[in-house]
């Protein structure tokens, strides 16, 4: 008889938990979700306002005194007509007044469109969005712990997985289609694989300026015509228009000009490596990146005032002992956060890299490398956080399982970005009074607790929160194995390209599609 109450207590706990689970898993309107694309960061500022101004002034000095070399003839004509000065040494120099004039013309508060409008990205203020990027040449096989060449099918699968992940907000090409040997066909297959896998915003690049027109024909087919495309351009051009230090990349600049004429938004990407192609001091690395991107602002707005362009200060870090890239370092996280501050200073939509792992596999090292830089980027209010998930071996390898794990990681990062809501209701003592003075002495099952379970708390899809006992009872699941299982479920559920069959058939008739 002494043990008779035990089943009743167990039943109450079970019923309470079942109730909480039901509340937690019930569908929630997008505007009530605790995290979502475009939440505002900006709580973290590694640079003082005085230091922001010093970097700005130094960047203007660099443009006026050093300038940039090797612009294509078309770019020289565009920028000198606006007021840039071509020196006898072949370098274009930019007077302060010219830079300020072009900054005044530059597009702000832009929208990066998606094929499905619900995935549109509003780039204003400190709104934060996370996504993929890069040009990995390998896929990480976590089951064999090996690296192999990436293929068009891998890129398509990555896009399909990203489409299913709530916390991955856009999909920029993450891998090179190494099974496609013809460069034009590779550019075509890159666009196809990305757009066939997701209706989120897509980013791509072109291996040669001459490929732009043919690729735009494909994009128009996907859009349903050029007019429809120009109304809602859902692909942007990731454009390395400079070769640091302080040189234009001639072919990329010509590509950029063609993309602008075609109505495609551009990412002005400066990717110097501190200690190698950028100065080793972090502050000066930011100076150079800002100067190079300001030259891009002049270029774009002298050609097409107000054309949508993302200020892509994207400096990387070297391990100064070896010269190798160190994308997962604390210095990288600081550089990215500092760049976000400069974007805010100019009031321009900005993007930079975070979430890169130097680790070769999705292990603990990868976890801290990805979490630290992604969190700092979000807290700094970076509009577009590129390479946030999936990237290993300092951008050489992309891992589909890591992409899945990254969705959980970004969920926790976005919760940090959201911060703590302090409202009249949240600091009210009524719940405390009812629990402590008249109630059971705990908040489990309290209406206030149930009311915030979905709207303030984020729950992982793959990560494990069970007790050691429960963990043992369910077979001691391994995190990577759970990621493999979720990856396989997503790929099994999404088997057809996200085009109507007639469009897909027309594309396959016109082009050699590998995916």
Burial 205-233 (b: 16+ CB within 10 A, else e): bbeebebbeebbebbbbbbeeeeebeeeb
Q: Which pLDDT value is given to residue 4?
A: 42
Residue 175: closest CA among 147, 200, 143: 147
Kindly tell me the sign of the dihedral angle through the C-alpha atoms of 471, 475, 480, 481.
Answer: negative
From residue 208, alpha-carbon distances to 127, 309, 378 in Å are 33, 20, 33
* pLDDT confidence of residue 470: 95
Measure the CA–CA gap between 170 and 121, rounded to whole angstroms: 8
pLDDT of residue 24: 57
* N-to-C CA span, the chain: 68
The 10 Å CB-count burial string (b at 16+, else e) for 319-350 is eeeeeebbbbbebbbbbbbbbbbbbbbbebbb
Helices 282-303, 330-346: inter-axial angle, 10-degree rounding: 40
Cis bond upstream, residue 245 (ω within 30)? yes
- Enter the DSSP assignment of 437: I
- Per-residue pLDDT at 132: 98
- Give the whole-angstrom CA distance, residue 174 versus residue 169: 14
Element holding 392 (H helix, E strand): strand 391-392
**pLDDT at site 349:** 98
CA distance 448 to 431: 7
Q: State the pLDDT at residue 12.
A: 41
What does the alpha-carbon distance between residue 15 and residue 308 come to, in Å, rounded to a whole number? 54
Can you list the residues of the chain whose pLDDT is less than 50? 1-14
pLDDT in tens, 47-91: 999 999 999 999 999 999 999 999 999 999 999 999 999 999 999
Between β-strands 39-40 and 127-130, what pairing exists: parallel, antiparallel or unpaired? antiparallel
Sketch out the chain's domains with CATH numbers: 103-418 (3.20.20.480)
Residue pair 204/210 in contact by the 8 Å Cβ criterion: no
CB 131 within 8 A of CB 165: no
Contact 66, 246 (CB under 8 A): yes
Distance CA 478, CA 464 (A): 9
């Amino acid at each position: 008889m002494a043990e008779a109450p035990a089943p009743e207590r167990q039943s109450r706990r079970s019923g309470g938990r079942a109730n909480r689970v039901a509340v937690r898993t019930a569908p929630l309107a997008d505007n009530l979700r605790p995290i979502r694309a475009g939440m505002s960061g900006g709580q973290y500022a590694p640079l003082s306002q005085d230091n922001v101004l010093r970097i700005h002034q130094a960047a203007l000095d660099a443009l006026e005194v050093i300038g940039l070399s090797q612009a294509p003839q078309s770019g020289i004509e565009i920028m000198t007509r606006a007021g840039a000065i071509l020196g006898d040494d072949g370098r274009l120099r930019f007077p302060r007044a010219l830079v300020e004039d072009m900054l005044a013309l530059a597009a702000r508060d832009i929208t990066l469109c998606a094929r499905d409008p619900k995935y549109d990205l509003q780039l204003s203020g400190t709104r934060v969005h996370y996504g993929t990027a890069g040009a990995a040449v390998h896929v990480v096989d976590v089951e064999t712990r090996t690296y192999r060449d990436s293929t068009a099918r891998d890129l398509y699968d990555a896009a399909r997985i990203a489409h299913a992940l709530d916390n991955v907000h856009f999909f920029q090409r993450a891998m090179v289609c190494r099974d496609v040997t013809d460069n034009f066909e590779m550019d075509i297959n890159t666009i196809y694989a990305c757009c066939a896998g997701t209706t989120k915003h897509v980013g791509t690049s072109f291996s040669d300026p001459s490929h732009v027109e043919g690729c735009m024909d494909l994009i128009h087919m996907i859009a349903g015509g050029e007019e429809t495309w120009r109304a809602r351009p859902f692909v942007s051009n990731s454009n390395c228009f400079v070769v640091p230090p302080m040189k234009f990349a001639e072919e990329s600049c010509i590509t950029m000009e063609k993309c602008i004429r075609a109505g495609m938004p551009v990412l002005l990407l400066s990717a110097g490596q501190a200690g190698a192609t950028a100065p080793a001091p972090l502050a000066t690395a930011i100076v150079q990146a800002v100067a190079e991107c300001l030259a891009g602002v002049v270029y774009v707005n002298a050609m097409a005032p107000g054309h949508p362009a993302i200020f892509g200060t994207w400096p990387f870090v070297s391990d100064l002992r070896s010269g190798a890239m160190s994308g997962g370092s604390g210095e990288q996280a600081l550089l990215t956060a500092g760049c976000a501050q400069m974007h805010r200073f100019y009031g321009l939509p900005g993007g930079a890299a975070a979430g890169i792992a130097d680790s070769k596999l999705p292990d603990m090292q990868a976890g801290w490398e990805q979490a630290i830089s992604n969190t700092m980027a979000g807290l700094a209010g970076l509009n577009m956080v590129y390479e946030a998930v999936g990237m290993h071996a300092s951008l050489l390898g992309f891992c589909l399982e890591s992409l899945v794990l990254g969705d959980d990681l970004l969920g926790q990062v976005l919760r940090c970005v959201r911060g703590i809501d302090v409202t009249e209701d949240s600091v009210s003592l009524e719940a405390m009074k009812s629990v402590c003075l008249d109630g059971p002495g705990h908040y489990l099952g309290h209406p206030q607790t149930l009311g915030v379970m979905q709207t303030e708390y984020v729950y992982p899809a793959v990560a494990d929160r069970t007790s050691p006992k429960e963990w043992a009872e369910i077979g001691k699941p391994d995190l990577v194995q759970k990621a493999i299982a979720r990856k396989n479920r997503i790929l099994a559920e999404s088997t057809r390209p996200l085009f109507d069959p007639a469009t897909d058939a027309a594309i396959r008739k016109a082009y050699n599609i590998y995916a």
